[in-house]
């Protein structure tokens, strides 16, 4: 029994060295695996570096996007402030013209009152010279002459009656303008339209027409704003408001995606009304469009 067990055990023992001999090549591959691991580690490090760079670029892009948003916000703020400045300039110009108109009106009224007062002493003088020793009927002629002269100034009160209108006119205009200042653009439009209906020949009519168009522009009704500003240019070609109306026409055209029309209007404004504030703003906008 023992011999049989030994005989069976010997082959098994002989297989052990063979196993180790066969395992030696596998153990011999250990340096290659280390190199592969090292290569994989280097590749991983390289990927980590690339990821870090990408993260940095993304952060920089986010910062750039933030800066761009800030720039756009600043641009919008500058545009809003510029619009407010334009409105204030127009308001000052309007107030100055309104004061001049009121002064002219007062001068006219004083002149009319002076003319109406002159015939009175003339009539008294004529009546004082009526007695004549030569002909008792003669005074009838001088009496008629003063009556005729006195009849001439009689229309003066009729003409003087509308002279009260400038006060109402200025109040009506000021009320509509206050609506605009308070950003009540619908009220401003209604007020200025009523003003134009009541005072179509007023010196402030071009201003009222301009503010109607600008109120529509503030309401973003660009088509209506464009139509009213074009009406101003046609109806009041010599008005000082024409350059400002043309500038607003260009703004409406650009808002309606008519860049070619807006550019043409700006060029015409710079060409025909150089030296005005509107022309200077038009030149800047042209530079921005290019």
pLDDT tens digits for range 126-144: 444 444 444 444 444 444 4
- Is residue 116 domain-resident? no
Domain count of the fold of the chain: 1
Mean per-residue pLDDT for 165-176? 86
Mean per-residue pLDDT for 41-59? 83
- Is residue 173 domain-resident? yes
> What is the residue-averaged pLDDT of the chain?
75
Between CA 266 and CA 263 the distance in angstroms is 5
| Confidence band of 194 (pLDDT split at 50, 70, 90) | very high
| Confidence band of 237 (pLDDT split at 50, 70, 90) | very high
CATH code for the domain in which residue 195 is found:
1.25.40.10
- Is residue 14 domain-resident? no
- What pLDDT, on the 0 to 100 scale, is given for residue 109? 67
Concatenated DSSP letters for 15-54? HHHHHHHHHHHHHHTHHHHHHHHHHHHHHHHHHHHHHHHH
Pair of tokens at residue 227: 């139509």
- What pLDDT, on the 0 to 100 scale, is given for residue 262? 94
Least confident of 56-65, 144-153, 249-258: 144-153
- Is residue 88 domain-resident? no
pTM: 0.47
- What pLDDT, on the 0 to 100 scale, is given for residue 48? 84
Least confident of 122-136, 196-210, 237-251, 266-280: 122-136
Alpha helices in 118-203 (DSSP H): 119-128, 140-151, 155-160, 165-181, 185-198
- Is residue 243 domain-resident? yes
- What pLDDT, on the 0 to 100 scale, is given for residue 151? 47
- Is residue 9 domain-resident? no
Query: Please, which residues have CB within 8 angstroms of residue 165's CB and are 6 or more apart in sequence?
Result: 199
Residue 174 has pLDDT above 70, yes or no: yes
Domain that holds residue 227: 164-289
- Is residue 100 domain-resident? no
């Amino acid at each position: 029994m023992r011999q049989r067990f030994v005989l069976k055990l010997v082959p098994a023992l002989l297989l052990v060295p063979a196993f180790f001999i066969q395992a030696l090549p596998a153990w011999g591959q250990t340096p290659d695996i280390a190199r592969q691991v090292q290569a994989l580690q280097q590749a991983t490090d390289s990927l980590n570096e690339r990821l870090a760079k990408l993260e940095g670029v993304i952060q920089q892009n986010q910062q750039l996007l933030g800066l761009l948003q800030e720039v756009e916000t600043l641009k919008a703020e500058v545009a809003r402030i510029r619009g407010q400045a334009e409105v204030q300039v127009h308001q000052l110009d309007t107030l100055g013209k309104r004061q001049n108109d009121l002064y002219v009106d007062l001068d006219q009224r004083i002149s009319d009152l002076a003319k109406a007062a002159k015939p009175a002493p003339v009539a008294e003088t004529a009546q004082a010279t009526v007695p004549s020793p030569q002909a008792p009927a003669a005074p009838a002629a001088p009496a008629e002459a003063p009556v005729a002269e006195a009849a001439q100034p009689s229309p003066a009160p009729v003409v003087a009656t509308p002279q009260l209108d400038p006060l109402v006119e200025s109040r009506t205009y000021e009320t509509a303008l206050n609506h605009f200042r308070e950003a009540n653009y619908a009220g401003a439009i209604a007020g200025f339209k009523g003003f134009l209906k009541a005072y179509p020949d007023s010196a402030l009519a071009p201003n009222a027409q301009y503010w109607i168009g600008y109120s529509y522009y503030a309401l973003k009704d660009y088509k209506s704003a464009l139509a009213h500003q074009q009406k101003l240019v046609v109806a009041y070609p010599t008005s000082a408001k024409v350059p400002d109306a043309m500038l607003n026409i260009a703004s409406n055209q650009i808002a309606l995606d008519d860049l070619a029309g807006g550019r043409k209007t700006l060029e015409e404004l710079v060409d025909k009304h150089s030296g005005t504030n509107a022309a200077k703003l038009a030149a800047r906008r042209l530079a921005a469009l290019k």
